Amino acid sequence: MSPKQATPCAQAATAEAERETEVARNPNCTIRSTANQTACLVQIYPANAGLGRRHRLDQPAALGRDVDCEIPVDDASVSRYHARVVPRDGDYYVTDLRSTNGTFVNDGRALLRRLADGDYVRVGNHIFRFLAGGNIEADYHEEIFRLTITDALTAIHNKRHLLDFLERELTRTARHHRPLALLLFDIDHFKAINDTHGHLAGDAVLRALATRLRGETRRDELFARYGGEEFAVVLPETDLEGAVRLAERLRKLVAVHPFEHNGKSLPITISLGATATGAGETFSVEQFLAQADEKLYQAKQQGRNRVVASDGEPAEAGNQTSAKAKGNWV
């Protein structure tokens, strides 16, 4: 007898599982689909009551603080009439309405821009994703799944996915006696950036830092936002020496080129803590994170802009000029 063919339901379940697996591996991937439906904007940031809400674009839609806007955005960083999305001849265009803080598409300022499927539209502190692929319903549910594992501001993995990944890797490490390393780092004096230049500048620095460092990790490693201005890198099959080498490379990549926001140069440095499993050692997720966090704290104490590894000694000192404000580790 010939083998049974999969039922349509089983095929659909397999296809959905494949979609979710690909998104989990790469939160920036775009999976195309095939049926025609009305395009929409989906709010992906911030994580407030509007997170995941779908705004249909079957007619022109204004975004802004005013209650008459088709897509109301109640945030001081957004103008009363901030931007408008207009369907035209099968395409969709976003127009800035002379807003105070500008309208951005994929982090590029947009006065008038044709939108493509998967584009990110930012007005003030709010980010929307434009969906116009064939099967809007499937794309929408894919986007909701993406929101569960991805930090929308930086487009890298979020804390939830980090903890799940770390738990799996610690289990695998203990079972097979393989090395595992962890980096925790944060931006030095980040509060001063927000206080001096505003929260939009702070958000811009977080996005730019994630973009700059994303390409330094391999496919089997995980780069995630741990919270606030703190980030983590999980390194399977890597010992402490290899983790320190990567940490130094990340530190230098951040320090060597200032970040830009609204034409202003913002010099940024990071402090990093590195740890790794040792022979015969087993850790819980909380213990492993606490060990790396302790080294990050020591890096702050010892002057910032440096890496401190599990032996408690700085792997390589960075710029000493930031060794100020003892007792304030932000």
What are the residue numbers of the active site?
A: 229
d(CA 214, CA 124): 24
d(CA 186, CA 250): 11
d(CA 44, CA 137): 16
Amino acid letter at 185? F
Q: What does residue 31 show for φ and ψ, rounded to 5 degrees?
A: -110, 120
Q: Confirm if 150 and 156 have CB atoms less than 8 A apart.
A: yes
DSSP string, 266-300: E---EEEEEEE--TT----HHHHHHHHHHHHHHHH
Helices 136-149 and 8-25: crossing angle in degrees, nearest 10, is: 40
Helix (H, G, I), strand (E, B) or coil at 248: helix
CA-only gyration radius of the chain, Å: 22
Compute the C-alpha angle 66/68/70, nearest 5°. Answer: 105
Helix (H, G, I), strand (E, B) or coil at 243: helix
